[in-house]
Amino acid sequence: MALDLSPNGWPGAVVLALCYAVSLPVVAYAVRTTRPVDQRAPQARAVTGLVLALGLALALAALTRPQTALVPAILYRLFCVALAEEVFFRGYVQSRLNESLGRPYRLLGVPSGWGLAIAALLFGLAHVLSPAGSFQWGCGLWTAALGVTFGYLREKSGSVLAPTVVHGILIAVAVIAGAG
């Protein structure tokens, strides 16, 4: 007998939320133990060039091979979903709330405040209320937990780039796995 661990049902949502909650300290540890990258260093420029080349290759593949639905699906979710959501929830909502409410607390050594928590809850609620969420509160639970990790990355880096990259990778994996 198989367990129903759909991310929209309560058992699956709780398991996914716990996994995302555990991911926060793992991400925090990785971020804290990684030295800052000098953006002018040749390696940083090489990685940036590689990422841009990969993006260009995906875009060209989407244009020249329309029968391959995977590439456009990933590009759409990366740029129209992950980037848009991170710019709105972390770049606008979280940063405006931080300006208004301050960042009097520390989350795993990083200054944070109610802006992170409220933005994460709104992120979860938006996924519940979206047509894809179909009013599944379990979906809201794990997306809110994931929103805390994205918010932490925003606070730590001071940019929406880090949470956008992580969000995009998670979405790409879901699309490739057939769940996105």
Q: In the prediction, which pLDDT does 98 show?
A: 94
Given pLDDT bands bounded at 50, 70 and 90, which one contains residue 35?
Answer: low
Q: Which residue has the higher pLDDT, 81 or 61?
A: 81
Least reliable range by pLDDT among 77-86, 88-97, 141-150: 77-86
- Whether 51 shows a pLDDT value over 90: the answer reads no
Given pLDDT bands bounded at 50, 70 and 90, which one contains residue 1?
Answer: very low
Q: Which residue has the higher pLDDT, 128 or 39?
A: 128
* Nearest partner of 147 among 95, 86, 56, 103, judged by Cα: 86
Q: Which residue has the higher pLDDT, 150 or 34?
A: 150
Q: What are the tens digits of pLDDT across the range 149-180?
A: 999 989 988 888 888 888 888 887 777 766 55
Q: In the prediction, which pLDDT does 61 show?
A: 61
CB count in 10 Å sphere of residue 5: 12
Tell me the pLDDT of the chain averaged across its residues: 77
Q: In the prediction, which pLDDT does 100 show?
A: 94
> In 3-137, at which residue ranges do the beta strands (DSSP E only) sit?
105-107, 110-112
Buried b (16+ CB within 10 A) or exposed e, 138-153: bbbbbbbbbbbbbbbb
Average pLDDT over residues 38-57: 63
pTM over 0.85: no
Q: Which residue has the higher pLDDT, 86 or 63?
A: 86
Average pLDDT over residues 14-29: 67
